[in-house]
């Protein structure tokens, strides 16, 4: 009897909530506006069910996936999130070590509290071939964007992830109420030091600009060798444009519900983006992924891999490197388990016909 026993992620989330400064908890947990998109990311997965296939002789499922600049042991990548130094003194270094040990791709944020070269060094201290991608907001000054991309390449990042869902900063009511708009003393956005226009010894502010266009993206693409993935694509026509512009992947994402609150849940936008891309480049998804069933549902609907944002922050805040390791291990083990239950041999096994809506009229 009694309520269900909470899983590893729920346990770490509770522990993180108890340990974190409530202002920082709100920053991690919150969304924009009414927080509809943030909630729907999670709820939309719960409205979907998986139809298992039986007697497939598939054997023990293999969770590895091929991604641009990375062969990963798990389809769960660490989505870029800002300010890991607020969660734990080891900050992004702890996240990087845990991701590397798990064989998971780490997308490190431009808004990290650790410089990208230190992030990659931490990852490589665990595994020489650890894959780290650098997340970038195109800056209105193209010289700044260029300097950041060069730094990421020099640090050994193997791809750039350009986030395109933020022409302006989302309206986060929790942060407004808490007056949280700047990092506390002792923390800085270390990637923003020494850039063109930065004050001596200080950091440049990260700018968001609604004037940016595909021209700015082309400039980045043509000036650098790293493959580029576009993060924050929801419209199928933007996915088509991304393919046409030589992008090497798209990430279907509503930024964890932190930008356009009216955006659909990521998993609801996925099938149409996958159709538009038609297998030409990998499609990733982030937003609301909390279980192996969520991962397999996304794979079945056309994703090659998925990202997790908040769960990594819960693990980091609760138990540092070990907590992040537990999150990634749990999601990988649960994904392997659900793949096997669904009759799939590997991450490309689940098919769209295996995803059905829950509800009284869902299964006929």
Contact residues: ligand FNR, CB under 6 A: 27-28, 41, 79-82, 109, 111, 135, 163, 231, 253, 255-256, 258, 286-289, 307-310
Residue with smaller CB distance to ligand FNR, 191 or 354:
191
Least separation, in Å, of the C-beta of 81 and ligand FNR?
4
At its nearest, how many Å lie between ligand FNR and the CB of residue 313?
A: 6
Q: Minimum distance between the CB of residue 142 and ligand FNR, rounded to whole angstroms?
A: 19
Minimum separation from the CB atom of position 57 to ligand FNR (A): 34
The residue (of 123 and 343) whose beta carbon lies closer to ligand FNR is: 123
Is residue 66 within 8 A of residue 338, CB to CB? The reply is no
Q: Which residue in the shown chain puts its C-beta closest to ligand FNR?
A: 309
The Cα–Cα gap between 115 and 92 comes to 9
Catalytic residue positions, numbered:
255
**Closer of 58 and 329 to ligand FNR (Cβ):** 329
Q: How far apart are CA 62 and CA 74, in angstroms?
A: 9
Query: Is 309 or 349 the residue whose CB approaches ligand FNR more closely?
Result: 309
State the minimum distance, in angstroms, from the CB of residue 218 to ligand FNR: 20
Shortest Cβ 173–ligand FNR spacing (Å): 15
Between 338 and 343, whose beta carbon lies closer to ligand FNR?
Answer: 338
Alpha carbon distance 267, 253 (integer Å) = 9
Return the ∠ at Cα 349 (arms to 343 and 350), rounded to 5°. Answer: 75
Q: Which is nearer to ligand FNR, 82 or 343 (CB)?
A: 82
SS (H, E, C) the chain: CCCCCCCHHHHHHHHHHHHCCHHHHHHHHCCCCCCHHHHHHHHHHHCEEECCCCCCCCCCCECCEEECCEEECCCEEECCCCCHHHCCCCHHHHHHHHHHHHCCCEEECCCCCCCHHHHHHHHHHHCCCCCEEEEECCCCCHHHHHHHHHHHHHCCCCEEEEECCCCCCCCCHHHHHHCCCCCCCCCCCHHHECCCCCCCCCECCCCCCCCCCHHHHHHHHHHCCCCEEEEEECCHHHHHHHHHCCCCEEEECCHHHCCCCCCCCHHHHHHHHHHHHCCCCCEEEECCCCCHHHHHHHHHCCCCEEEECHHHHHHHHHHHHHHHHHHHHHHHHHHHHHHHHCCCCECCCCCHHHEEECCCCCCC
Give me the least distance between CB of 23 and ligand FNR, in Å please. Answer: 12
Compute the distance between CA of residue 118 and CA of residue 131 in angstroms, rounded to an integer.
14
Nearer to ligand FNR, 229 or 347 (CB): 229
């Amino acid at each position: 009897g009694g309520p269900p026993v909470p899983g590893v992620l729920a346990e770490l989330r509770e522990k993180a909530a108890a340990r974190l400064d409530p202002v920082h908890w709100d920053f991690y947990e919150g969304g924009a506006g009414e927080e509809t998109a943030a909630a729907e990311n999670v709820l939309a997965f719960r409205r979907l069910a998986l139809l298992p296939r039986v007697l497939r002789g598939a054997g023990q499922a293999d969770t590895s996936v091929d991604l641009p600049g990375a062969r990963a042991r798990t389809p769960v990548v660490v989505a870029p999130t800002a300010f890991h130094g607020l969660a734990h003194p080891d900050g992004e270094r702890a996240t990087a070590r845990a991701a590397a040990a798990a064989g998971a791709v780490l997308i490190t944020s431009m808004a990290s509290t650790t410089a990208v070269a230190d992030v990659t060094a931490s990852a490589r201290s665990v595994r020489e071939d650890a894959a780290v991608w650098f997340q970038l907001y195109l800056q209105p000054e193209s010289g700044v964007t260029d300097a950041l991309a060069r730094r990421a390449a020099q640090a050994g990042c193997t791809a750039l992830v350009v986030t395109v869902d933020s022409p302006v900063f989302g309206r986060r009511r929790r942060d407004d109420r808490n007056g949280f708009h700047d990092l506390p003393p002792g923390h800085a956005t270390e990637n923003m030091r020494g850039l063109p226009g930065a004050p001596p010894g200080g950091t440049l502010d990260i700018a968001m600009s609604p004037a940016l266009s595909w021209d700015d993206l082309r400039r980045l693409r043509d000036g650098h060798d790293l493959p580029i993935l576009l993060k924050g694509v929801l419209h199928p026509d933007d996915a088509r444009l991304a393919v046409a512009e030589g992008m090497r992947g798209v990430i279907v994402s509503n930024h964890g519900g932190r930008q356009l609150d009216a955006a659909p849940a990521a998993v609801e936008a996925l099938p149409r983006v996958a159709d538009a891309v038609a297998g030409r480049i990998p499609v990733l998804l982030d937003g609301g992924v909390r279980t192996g069933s969520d991962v397999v549902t996304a794979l079945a609907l056309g994703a090659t891999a998925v990202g997790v944002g908040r769960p990594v922050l819960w693990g980091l805040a609760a138990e540092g490197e070990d907590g992040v390791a537990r999150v990634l291990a749990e999601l990988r083990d649960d994904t392997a388990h659900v793949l096997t239950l669904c009759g799939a041999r590997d991450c490309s096994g689940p098919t769209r016909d295996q995803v059905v809506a829950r509800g009284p009229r869902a299964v006929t």
